[in-house]
Homo-oligomer: A and B are copies of this chain.
């Protein structure tokens, strides 16, 4: 048994491919046979690793939400400096995630409703905590912002940062680091202008 050995266990491999496929064609749009084929096994072999198709989606969405939240919490705890620097750090973390895990980011706000009630509630709660974490920081940087405006602006900046997956065109856009810089600047500018 090599389950706990190292990097890419079969389970993780499946999750990765499932994420990609779900993001490309939607949860209902991709069959279990396709997911199997993507990892070299076929069809029902997946059931040795997951209880069902729903379970894969659930694990993906819960995983993303947890990763985002713990990453944010870590930054809040570790960054010592002005609130503005903390906000910088949050933005940077979110951009890294959006650029490196596009499929997951896409899933994150597209397929939430396909979850069982309990899972959906869990994911929603994690998402809400993540938003609130940002809201607090934003309000420290821009005290003039009302709570409602701060929350709305955070959602909007998420929309901005998460927009990268939609850019599928090959050459016509900046490279990874340039893109990260651009997104960072735009997010900061958006927050600054939100507090008119």
Chain B nearest CB from A117 CB (Å) reads 15
Identify the closest chain B residue to A184 (Cβ).
Answer: B193
> Which one of B24, B155, B186 lies within 8 Å of A190 (CB-CB)?
B186
Closest to A194 in B: B186
User: Do A152 and B166 touch across chains, with their CB atoms under 8 A apart?
Assistant: no
Known: A29-B114, A159-B159. A173 touches B194 (CB 8 A): no
Interface residues of A (CB under 8 A from B): 24-29, 109-111, 113-114, 147-149, 151-153, 155-164, 166-167, 172-174, 178-179, 182-183, 185-194, 196
Q: Are A163 and B158 within 8 A (Cβ)? A: yes
Neighbouring B residues of A187 by C-beta, 8 Å: 190
Q: Is the CB of A193 within 8 A of B183?
A: no
Q: A29-B114, A110-B110, A186-B190 are in contact. Are A148 and B160 (CB under 8 A)?
A: no
A27-B28, A159-B166, A189-B192 given; 4 more Cβ-contact pairs under 8 Å: A160-B163, A186-B190, A188-B193, A189-B193
Which residue in B113, B153, B158 is a CB contact (below 8 Å) of A186?
B153
Residues of chain B within 8 A (CB-CB) of A157 are 160, 186
A110, A173, A190 pick with most chain B CB within 10 angstroms = A190
Q: How far is the CA of A97 from the CA of B183 in the complex (A)?
A: 24
A42 and B186 alpha carbons, distance in the complex (Å): 48
